[in-house]
Amino acid sequence: MIEVKHLTKSFGQVHAVRDLTFRVQPGKVTGFLGPNGAGKTTTLRLILGLNTPTSGTATVGGRLFRSLGTGLRHAGALLDAGDIHPGRSGYAHLWALARSNGLPRRRVDEVLAETGLTGAARRRAGTYSLGMRQRLGIATALLGDPPVLLFDEPLNGLDPEGVRWIRTLLRRLAAEGRTVLVSSHLMTEMSHTADHLIVLGRGELVADEPLKDFAARSATGDLEDAFMGLTAVSTEYRAGGAR
Amino acid sequence: MTAESTLTLATRTPAGRARMVDLFAAEWIKFRSLRSTVVTLAALVAVYFYLAYRGAQDSYQVWQSLPEHLRPGFDPAHGVFGGPTWMLAMIVAGAVGAMTVTGEHSTGLIRATFTAVPARRGIAAAKCAVTAAAMTVTGAVIAAGSFAINETVLSGHHVSIPVGGVATVRLLAATSLLLPLCALAGMALGTVIRNTPATIVAVCVLFVFTPFAVKSASTRWTVDAANAMPFSFWARLTVTGRGHLVGGTESVPAAWTALAVWLAVSAIIVISAMGWRDV
């Protein structure tokens, strides 16, 4: 379980996240939604201890993530598919991370097979397509067989087959009793995958409810309509300058 | 793609603290798996073996031109282990060290590293230790090889050089340690600056520009400061001749102390700065 309490993060005068409180429950896929600049990525980084909160706390399995020595065993994360050194092979990337957590080499082969990268594992990651880097990021997240998984825009760059694979994977991870938090801009995809939604707008919590309740907010019962209606006032960047 | 799970909880140690030995191993995998690093260090060794050969030949020319009564004071190692050519090794070592840190920041890998090992001090210490160890081995290869080349060339011309002795051991040890020192200083700059080009500029300024700038203003304080710079104390530790030293030259213990302080301070900066900053 992920638990966020009164979490605030300011960069100078800018409040990236303000007084956020929510829980992400195990056994479900929780969609993490919000317009660009709403604070989704910042929240994920705060949960993972990559950024230090200005105030408030975020815990994973009841513990501050920063206090853990073997993070891969507690949470797996795909933050940005580019978080790889382009000069290193996919295999070396995974093996170094696995080794840091005392995981055996066999785990690397398993996650490579799981993500369909076995054939490309010895190539330098700089030669990978966006979709392959995305798969490598997911392989990284799965390395430690963690009870908690966080995915930031996992569908970026994936082809339809890859999208379907992610959807199946997320459902399966939740069915295994894991806590799964997935940020995405793709409303239709979320409506296929998520059980529960947490919605941010301008760094604040806008909604935290089951998917069907959220969709019911719009007259049409459509997730996208509900999202647009709810976040209309909190969208920071919009084409055409309309507010 | 397998539809069913191949995932099993397969672990060697219980979840919790990372073992230092695992962190060392992980950082070593990272270090050796970048071809550019390995090629750079191999090229550095080759360049210094060539420079040693040229330096030894120049040494012989100098020796030949010396009047007989000055020859006993001749330092046979100075032609190889001395002079500004060694600043190239310092800059390369500094850059390699810096890029073990800035390479992770610029690619975003640092986030994967710290997600895997959230308690950061251990991984920072492992990174320092692995980089320092690899650079010490490289430094030792360069030092021993250069010494052997110098010895071979000079003895071929019947110039006797003392192979054993404290001064020789000191020269080899100081030259072996020059590279890890510069690498750790580069890492420290990289940890603070986080940007590769800016860090490499800082490495050049620190190792090349600063000693000359400080030395040009010759007061008691600036002489001490110049002596505390890596190139100066390394040069002091590589003196093997019996010639007279100019005034203001530091003692050998002072030079060793400066070297130890540089190593320690650099490692402390890396471990503490990496420990708390947002990434």
CA A242 to chain B, closest CA, distance in angstroms equals 34
Would you write out chain B's pLDDT as a tens digit for each of its 279 residues?
Answer: 343 444 444 444 456 677 899 999 999 999 999 999 999 999 999 999 999 999 999 999 999 999 988 888 888 888 899 888 999 999 999 999 999 999 999 999 999 999 999 999 999 999 999 999 999 999 999 999 999 999 999 988 877 666 668 889 999 999 999 999 999 999 999 999 999 999 999 999 999 988 878 777 677 788 888 889 999 999 999 988 766 666 677 889 999 999 999 999 999 999 999 988 898
Q: In this complex, which of B18, B276, B278 lies closest to A101 when CB atoms are compared?
A: B18
Q: In this complex, which of B5, B23, B276 lies closest to A100 when CB atoms are compared?
A: B23
The number of beta carbons lying within 10 Å of the beta carbon of residue B84 is 10
Q: In this complex, which of B7, B107, B112 lies closest to A114 when CB atoms are compared?
A: B7
Q: In this complex, which of B19, B33, B119 lies closest to A92 when CB atoms are compared?
A: B33
Beta bridge partners of A76: A149
Here the ipTM equals 0.93
Q: Using a CB-CB distance cutoff of 8 angstroms, which residues of chain B are in contact with residue A111?
A: 7
A100 and B18 within 8 Å at the Cβ level: the answer is yes
Q: Could you tell me if A116 lies within 8 Å of chain B, comparing CB atoms?
A: yes
Pairing outcome for strands A75-78 and A148-152: parallel
CA A120 to chain B, closest CA, distance in angstroms equals 14
Structure tokens at B191: 């940890």
A26-45 pLDDT, tens digit each: 999 999 999 888 999 999 99
Compute CA distances B177 → A31, A138, B86, B136, B142, whole Å: 53, 41, 13, 6, 11
A107 and B35 within 8 Å at the Cβ level: the answer is no
A114-143 pLDDT, tens digit each: 999 999 999 999 999 999 999 999 999 999
A99 and B13 within 8 Å at the Cβ level: the answer is no
Q: Using a CB-CB distance cutoff of 8 angstroms, which residues of chain B are in contact with residue A143?
A: 116
